A and B are shown apart, each in its own frame.
Chain A
Amino acid sequence: MGFFNFEPATLPPEAEALRPEVRAFLAEALKDKRPVDRAWNWMGHDQDFSRKVGEQGWLGMTWPKEYGGGGRTFFERYVVMEEMLAAGAPVQAHWVADRQSGPLLLRFGTEEQRKFFLPQIISGNACFCIGMSEPDSGSDLAATRTKAEKVDGGWKVNGTKVWTSSAHLAHYMIALFRTDAEDKHGGLSQFIVDMKSPGLTVSPIINLAGNHHFNQCVFDDVFVPDDALVGKPGGGWNQVVAELAFERSGPERYLSCIQLILELLGVAAQSRDPAMVEEVGRLSAHALTLRRMSLSVAGKLQRGENPSLEASVVKDVGGVFEQSIPEIAARLVEEEPTLMGGDNFQQVLAFLTMEAPSFSLRGGTREILRGIIARGLGLR
């Protein structure tokens, strides 16, 4: 007993009070979205939508008021996030910045960085991407090779980042560069890179579905000024570990396929097929469980505790769950998935079947997460 601490968390009334407001906002903002659009879930990118969310005061909700933040609780933020995801809102343009880049700057950034970047995030104008993976450094982050060399007034960067989601749309990248070739973990540092920097070339990597989420970013003598360093030189590894705890902690880690659950429910409600009805119930039980686990992680964030271990558990269990949904839908419903034509179920099934492999890769592979959990169990 006692490997994990999933303290039960209940949403306080001020958090619940936000829910009808968010639902009303989304009902209006998303009224023209088709199910297959909603299926993009948090991969959907729409900077205008993000600005509208910012106008509502729903970005940087937990950040201090002195930077324009909402000074609200993680529970209030949780309600906004889960309602956005459940409705399939296109949140990608603000998601990363709101979830991890802003908190990173609050924790490790300079006063100038906070004053400059946080208001842009809060207004929904700044899209951030994350430059961690490289051609030879996927799960093994400490193998990062993209090099930042000290030059007069800043750093000169050379190397390549890959699988960088939204790099083609982002304004800034939080990048992990090697500043010391000798020290494997202690030789990494984080920088904020302006995506318009000369020498930085972003080219698309089209996924198997023909969609463009991620990119290759080549740095060719890119100059990054001194004030772009986040935290201490050599502090990158520890900062990234803290950042990943935020990345893995949210409800997006079990709701990616909610649109397909809804479509399956629609088919089940029409057919009353017992196997489908039962499966919808089973998926509900899983969703109820994951939501409680995820809320418990929000409670940890609210108490200022480190959520890494429990967040990894939620992401692992949630990833298995969301990845199973296209399989279940394809097994139970005798309709072919369709890319062109077909009904909503068929379209959503096709889209999510092809996106699902990424669910246990992005933000830490299943194997990496289970390694973290194994460490929590005292096995490593």
Chain B
Amino acid sequence: MSELRNILTDSVNGLFGDRVTRELLTRFDETGDDGGIWAEVEAQGLTRPLVSEENGGVGGEWRDAHVLLSAAGFHSAPVPLAETILASWLAERAGLPVPEGMATIIDGSDGSLTITGDGDSAKLSGTVARVPWASKAETAVVVAAQDGGVMVGEVRLSDARDISASQNMAREPRDDVSFDGAPLRVAHLPNDLPQDVILQYGAMVRAAQIAGAMDKVLTQTVQYANERTQFGKPLGKFQAIQQELSRMAGEAAASGVIAEAPFAALDDGQNSEWQIAAAKARTSEAAGVGATVGHQTHGAIGFTYEHSLHFATRRLWSWRSEFGGARFWSRRLGTRAVDRGVENFWADIVSG
């Protein structure tokens, strides 16, 4: 592991480990307040692992972003770290200013968002549902349709016509946003990026968060099984419990391994699309096992609001459906497989 990655790993786990307590997450659920941790996330440079040093970033790799996102998932950090990391990266890649403050990404590449005009007179219009953190973020980096192609744009969310607040099961903002001629800066989508870059990379970051949350549920559940005593011995001594926790551990391990794959592929200059599809499909399937076994082992106490298990499990249940769920990404992989035919199946597994 690089020195930078060690530093980032220590910083992010130190910060979230200390600050993201049950009290903070409860307050976030009730009021949406993050208790000031966003300011610290920014102050420590954690939102810009992929931004060059000259633009105020740390000039790291995708693998560096991966450790941050896994940690954010592990700790249920109630901040748009994943969204801001992606927005900052995409803005810089497209030659737009790196956004200050909280940022999010919006995929309008299917034509739900359109850009008219260019240069200083460019305007953004359209409506997109369930944009992560839109009601909190200052800036959105969007991919929107223009003249039969797509462009990247950077828009102030205060210029939106309407932001209609909604939430996922973890009470993270997932808001409907509409623009009606909002001014924005535009740039071409870099040639090496797919039109659905936000969908794909969004799926990649959610998979990393899911893998982190799976580790959290496993850790919490193992700890509980070792502490809680029934029939005169800790739950973890019962074979029935051991078998289920081992199954969950396998799913957590699989999630961790495949979630890292697309980040590594991007760093190594390999095709990431199929690794992303596999990562989101596989982790989204595993999420259900993690939440189910976690709750079953915790019994009734884990079903209460008072117990902290649900902070991770509600995120697992939400994140598995965001940026395409298991079926969506399985279809993509399956469509490629039938298009490429039986003779290429194994070769494609090997090359990712």
Q: Is B a genuine binding partner of A?
A: yes
Residue numbers of A with Cβ under 8 A of B are 1, 3-4, 6, 8, 10, 19, 82, 86-87, 258, 261-262, 265-266, 268-269, 272, 274, 276-282, 284-293, 296, 310, 313, 316-317, 320, 367, 369-371, 373-374, 376-380
**Is there contact, CB below 8 Å, between B237 and A379?**
yes
Partner among A258, A268, A290 whose Cβ is within 8 Å of the Cβ of B338: A268
**Is there contact, CB below 8 Å, between A8 and B334?**
no
Main secondary structure of the interface of B (DSSP, over half): helix
**Is there contact, CB below 8 Å, between B256 and A6?**
yes
Query: Given that A265-B345, A281-B281, A379-B222 are contacting pairs, would A293 and B338 also be in contact in the complex, using a CB cutoff of 8 Å?
Result: no
Binds A, one of B126-134, B258-266, B300-308: B258-266
**Is there contact, CB below 8 Å, between A1 and B258?**
no
Given A3-B218, A285-B285, A292-B258, 13 extra CB contacts under 8 A? A1-B215, A265-B345, A279-B330, A280-B337, A281-B337, A292-B257, A293-B253, A296-B257, A373-B249, A376-B249, A378-B226, A379-B225, A379-B236
A1 / chain B contacts, CB cutoff of 8 Å: 74, 215-216, 219
A82 / chain B contacts, CB cutoff of 8 Å: 350
Shortest C-beta distance, A214 to chain B (Å), equals 26
Q: How many residues of B contact A (CB 8 A)?
A: 57
B258 / chain A contacts, CB cutoff of 8 Å: 285, 288-289, 292
Tell yes or no: B251 within 8 A of A by CB: yes
**Is there contact, CB below 8 Å, between A378 and B242?**
no
B326 / chain A contacts, CB cutoff of 8 Å: 282
Chain B 202-238 interface residues, beta-carbon cutoff 8 Å to A: 215-216, 218-219, 222, 225-226, 236-237
Residue numbers of B with Cβ under 8 A of A are 74, 215-216, 218-219, 222, 225-226, 236-237, 239, 241-243, 245-247, 249-251, 253-254, 256-258, 260-261, 264, 268, 274-275, 277-279, 281-282, 285, 326-327, 329-338, 341-342, 345-346, 348-350, 352
**Is there contact, CB below 8 Å, between B341 and A374?**
no
A119-B134 Cα distance, complex, nearest whole Å: 67
**Is there contact, CB below 8 Å, between B222 and A377?**
yes
When C-beta atoms are compared, the residue in chain A nearest to B235 turns out to be: A379
Partner among B246, B260, B268, B333 whose Cβ is within 8 Å of the Cβ of A316: B246
Partner among B237, B331, B342 whose Cβ is within 8 Å of the Cβ of A281: B331
Closest 10 CB pairs of A and B: A281-B334, A281-B333, A370-B246, A374-B242, A281-B330, A373-B246, A379-B236, A277-B334, A285-B281, A282-B330
A40-B171 Cα distance, complex, nearest whole Å: 51
Shortest C-beta distance, B166 to chain A (Å), equals 28
A95-B335 Cα distance, complex, nearest whole Å: 35
**Is there contact, CB below 8 Å, between B331 and A284?**
no
Number of A-B residue pairs with CB-CB distance less than 8 Å in the complex they form? 170
B278 / chain A contacts, CB cutoff of 8 Å: 284-285, 288-289
A30-B261 Cα distance, complex, nearest whole Å: 33
When C-beta atoms are compared, the residue in chain A nearest to B221 turns out to be: A377
Partner among B243, B338, B345 whose Cβ is within 8 Å of the Cβ of A277: B338
A124-B209 Cα distance, complex, nearest whole Å: 47
Partner among B247, B264, B348, B350 whose Cβ is within 8 Å of the Cβ of A370: B247
A380 / chain B contacts, CB cutoff of 8 Å: 236-237, 242
A286-B334 Cα distance, complex, nearest whole Å: 12
**Is there contact, CB below 8 Å, between B260 and A289?**
no
Residue in A87, A272, A289, A378 whose Cβ sees the most chain B Cβ within 10 Å: A289
Shortest C-beta distance, B339 to chain A (Å), equals 8
**Is there contact, CB below 8 Å, between B330 and A278?**
yes
A369 / chain B contacts, CB cutoff of 8 Å: 246
A371-B225 Cα distance, complex, nearest whole Å: 15
